[in-house]
A and B are shown apart, each in its own frame.
Chain A
Amino acid sequence: MSGPSTDIAVIGWAQTPMVRHTDKSETQLLMEAITDAIDPLGLTRADIDFTCLGSCDYITGQAFSFVSNLDAIGAWPPKRDSHVEMDGAWALYEAWLRLQEGDIEIAVVTGSGRSSTGEPALIYPMEMDPYFLAPLGADPLTFAALQARAVIAAGIADERSMAEVAVRARGKGDVESLLAEEFVRLPLRRHDVPPITDGAAAMVLATGDRARQLVKRPAYITGFDHRTECHNPSFRALDDSPSTRIAAEAAGLGDAPVEVAELQAAFTHEELLLRRVLGLGDDVAVNRSGGALRHNPIMATGLCRVGYAADHIFGGGRRALAHSTSGPCLQQNLVCILEGRS
């Protein structure tokens, strides 16, 4: 699939401080992130033609929680708006589709989550298959551990290479001492597991000439695709991620080399598996931001990946890949290719 005929580009983004526990409400986080994303571009909320917000009622603890989040976008006079119960990266996908209609120029997408509101270890099992998995309290750590075991058995990772990923992502610790720690879910240790993070991110998209008026070097979205697999990990090959591979092919990853890749790998083995599936060599800088192992604001983690990939383009880079994922064991995967032009 090639990109749309209209140029659509990321022209800016912002994120709130990423913290273990915030005193702010999700709406307050979004107000801050949106203002910080549009202000430097000289835009106001009145300039935004379309918004799409990504958040999760289960995390917020409130049905229709996205309705109160609308207070952050200034939806008066009424705006075109949508919501996805998914990471903000999927909100970005919807906005990218919406802009292709050609009648509007500027969209803002967000991802937001206050994971500290609840207890993620107890909430996520309730989102699993309601008949066979949720009643067992089948939790994300357990699924990740089973996938890690499969990835290790396939020779794609080992405990040492996983610890190396953790040290690089967090910029601290040393492999030997990490490997001396206890398992939290064999073969996963504390360092293989993401932190719990509160935070939000907002991103601004613009079409063609409008994008070029607003910034010197827009990050053009040249390929964008997402695919999903069967919901129950029992039916999947856990040492592979065919949905990532198909999405990357459809997004045109193979057309030209990328310099950087931002992968939503919350667990260390996921980064090693995704590198393998995407065919990323040592010449590609993977997760220079520290990735989801450093900050994991659920519902915004994927959108932040796109943001960091866009930063590479803003800074003069030519081509970057951003990846987002959803569901247990990399069930659903999204790949976005960003390019700069001379």
Chain B
Amino acid sequence: MTRFIESTITFPYKRSLGPVVGAFMTALTEKKILGIRCRDAVLVPPMEWDPATGAELPHEFVEVGPAGTVESWTWVPAPSEQHPLDHPFAFALVLLDGATTPLLHAVDAGTPSAMSEGMRVAPRWRGSRVGRIDDIICFVPGDMAETEGEDTGGAGEPVTRMDYLASITYRNPVPEAADRATEASREHRLLGLRCPTCGRVYAGGRGLCPVDAIELGPDCEVDLPHTGTITNFAIVTPVQYPGQTETEPFVRAFVLLDGTDVIIPYSAVIELPADRVKVGIRVDAVWASPAEETEEGGGMGGSWGSLLGWIPNGEPDLDDPDLVNRIF
């Protein structure tokens, strides 16, 4: 049975708005909706360029709505977590009074039988507005705009940026080779896979030979040595992005295993400070003791499992100018 692993990726985007979208978003905080003049048309939402020709439009804004007419609609019987309302609603193309193109937005109509083409709708404004399209929570039937909660007023200054948090959860299969490599690490074995066609050896539970494009099964497994040489390294000065737990500069080294062509990339090092790391240092593998074992494994992550990293073993450094080129 293939094992699956679930992970959630979030992207906290900060989007700059530019002169046209920015003006629209700023106006939203003042409970106004702006279109832009494009020849004889008034485009809503406003665009920087003529959608037909790509020509830049002069910044000639026109206040539209706030009420409008439903041109077309569909019903959402089971809203998702991303939708503006948590109960069934309509998505509609709303032609705001004074506009010539429709705006897509939600209409809180209760039931689909309350929706019709040509019906009048008006915004339900959020009380506290930041300059996002969802400052309009949704539209409601009728000509009267409403405000939900205490009205905290306009932004007072131009809105130039918009936050958008994208978050996606994925479920990925874990290659069996990766699980086997992790299991072997529990016994303090460093597992490699030798390609039967080209003879190259790969570590890290990759499970295939990228040169010959074939899968490598358990019959290809070999035990790799636990000593090697640092061929190259980076000193990473951590930037405090979300999820970064490191606070001080740290080393990531590439280790060439003795008697093989195998490079263990991006390796953690132990008892080797950033100001002492250099090419040619001889190192031994360090494995987690039973007390240090965790679900997530050692300091290397992924299928390296209980391998914590590499420690200088006291042997004399190697002086080989070609070492630095070995990162693959």
Q: Which A residues lie at the B interface, using CB under 8 A?
A: 22-25, 27-28, 31, 34-35, 45, 58, 60-61, 70-76, 116-119, 121-123, 125-126, 130-139, 142, 145-146, 149-150, 182-188, 230, 232-235
Let me know if B74 and A130 touch, CB within 8 A.
Answer: no
Q: Give chain B nearest CB distance to A175 CB in angstroms.
A: 22
0/1 string, B79-112, CB within 8 A of A gives 1: 0111110000001010000000111111000001
Let me know if A24 and B173 touch, CB within 8 A.
Answer: yes
Let me know if A232 and B45 touch, CB within 8 A.
Answer: yes
Q: Which of A22, A45, A58, A135 has most B Cβ within 10 Å?
A: A135
Q: Give chain B nearest CB distance to A206 CB in angstroms.
A: 20
Cα A23 to Cα B174 with chains together (Å): 9
Residue on B with the closest CB to A185?
Answer: B74
Let me know if B164 and A61 touch, CB within 8 A.
Answer: no
Let me know if B213 and A73 touch, CB within 8 A.
Answer: yes
Residue on B with the closest CB to A126?
Answer: B166
Task: Contacts A138-B104, A142-B74, A186-B75 given; indicate if A76 touches B211 (C-beta within 8 A).
Answer: yes
Out of B44, B72, B133, B172, name the residue touching A135 (CB < 8 Å): B133
Q: Does B121 contact A (CB under 8 A)?
A: no
Q: Does B43 contact A (CB under 8 A)?
A: yes
Let me know if A116 and B171 touch, CB within 8 A.
Answer: yes
The interface stretch among B7-15, B222-230, B235-243, B274-282 is B7-15
Q: Give chain B nearest CB distance to A81 CB in angstroms.
A: 13
Let me know if B93 and A130 touch, CB within 8 A.
Answer: no
Q: Give chain A nearest CB distance to B72 CB in angstroms.
A: 5
Let me know if A149 and B74 touch, CB within 8 A.
Answer: yes
Q: Give chain A nearest CB distance to B106 CB in angstroms.
A: 7
Give the 4 A-B residue pairs with the shortest CB-CB distance, closest first.
A137-B82, A61-B170, A145-B74, A71-B210
Out of A118, A187, A188, name the residue touching B169 (CB < 8 Å): A118
Q: Give chain A nearest CB distance to B108 CB in angstroms.
A: 13
Q: Does B132 contact A (CB under 8 A)?
A: yes
Cα A25 to Cα B173 with chains together (Å): 6
Let me know if A184 and B77 touch, CB within 8 A.
Answer: yes
List the B side residues contacting A45 at CB < 8 Å.
212-213
Residue on A with the closest CB to B54?
Answer: A230
Cα A28 to Cα B175 with chains together (Å): 10
Q: Which of A73, A139, A234 has most B Cβ within 10 Å?
A: A234
List the A side residues contacting B173 at CB < 8 Å.
22-25
Cα A34 to Cα B213 with chains together (Å): 10
Cα A327 to Cα B80 with chains together (Å): 20
Let me know if A131 and B162 touch, CB within 8 A.
Answer: yes
Some 15 contacts from A to B, beta carbons below 8 A apart, are: A23-B2, A71-B208, A74-B211, A74-B212, A122-B80, A131-B133, A135-B164, A138-B91, A149-B73, A150-B72, A186-B112, A187-B74, A234-B101, A235-B47, A235-B101
Cα A6 to Cα B231 with chains together (Å): 48
Cα A133 to Cα B74 with chains together (Å): 15
Let me know if B76 and A135 touch, CB within 8 A.
Answer: no
Q: Which of B7, B82, B101, B214 has most A Cβ within 10 Å?
A: B82
Cα A184 to Cα B208 with chains together (Å): 42
Q: Which B residues lie at the A interface, using CB under 8 A?
A: 2, 7, 9, 13, 15, 17, 21, 25, 43-45, 47, 51-52, 72-77, 80-84, 91, 93, 101-106, 112, 132-134, 162, 164, 166, 168-173, 175, 208, 210-215
Task: Contacts A35-B213, A118-B170 given; indicate if A25 touches B80 (C-beta within 8 A).
Answer: no
Out of A117, A121, A134, name the residue touching B164 (CB < 8 Å): A134
Cα A73 to Cα B73 with chains together (Å): 46
List the B side residues contacting A149 at CB < 8 Å.
72-74
Cα A45 to Cα B83 with chains together (Å): 47
Out of B43, B81, B104, name the residue touching A133 (CB < 8 Å): B104
List the A side residues contacting B214 at CB < 8 Å.
31
Let me know if A131 and B104 touch, CB within 8 A.
Answer: no
Q: Give chain B nearest CB distance to A183 CB in angstroms.
A: 7
Q: Give chain B nearest CB distance to A29 CB in angstroms.
A: 11
List the A side residues contacting B47 at CB < 8 Å.
232, 235
Cα A22 to Cα B173 with chains together (Å): 9
Task: Contacts A118-B170, A125-B82 given; indicate if A130 touches B76 (C-beta within 8 A).
Answer: no
List the A side residues contacting B77 at CB < 8 Å.
182-184
List the A side residues contacting B162 at CB < 8 Å.
131
Task: Contacts A135-B134, A234-B101 given; indicate if A61 touches B21 (C-beta within 8 A).
Answer: no
Let me know if A234 and B102 touch, CB within 8 A.
Answer: yes
List the B side residues contacting A74 at CB < 8 Å.
210-213
Let me know if B80 and A137 touch, CB within 8 A.
Answer: yes
Q: Give chain B nearest CB distance to A151 CB in angstroms.
A: 11
Residue on A with the closest CB to B95?
Answer: A234
Task: Contacts A35-B213, A70-B210, A186-B75 given; indicate if A132 touches B133 (C-beta within 8 A).
Answer: yes
List the A side residues contacting B75 at CB < 8 Å.
183, 185-186
List the A side residues contacting B170 at CB < 8 Å.
60-61, 117-118
Let me know if B210 and A76 touch, CB within 8 A.
Answer: yes
Cα A22 to Cα B171 with chains together (Å): 11
Cα A139 to Cα B171 with chains together (Å): 21
Cα A121 to Cα B214 with chains together (Å): 34
Residue on B with the closest CB to A119?
Answer: B169
Out of B43, B172, B213, name the residue touching A235 (CB < 8 Å): B43
Task: Contacts A25-B173, A61-B170, A131-B15 given; indicate if A72 touches B213 (C-beta within 8 A).
Answer: yes
Cα A187 to Cα B73 with chains together (Å): 10
Task: Contacts A131-B15, A131-B162, A234-B104 given; indicate if A139 touches B208 (C-beta within 8 A).
Answer: no
Q: Give chain B nearest CB distance to A67 CB in angstroms.
A: 10
Let me know if B133 and A31 touch, CB within 8 A.
Answer: no
List the A side residues contacting B101 at CB < 8 Å.
234-235
Q: Given A74-B211, A125-B82, A185-B76, list of 16 further CB < 8 A pairs? A: A28-B208, A45-B212, A117-B170, A117-B172, A118-B169, A119-B169, A122-B168, A126-B168, A135-B134, A136-B104, A137-B80, A149-B73, A182-B77, A232-B51, A233-B104, A235-B51
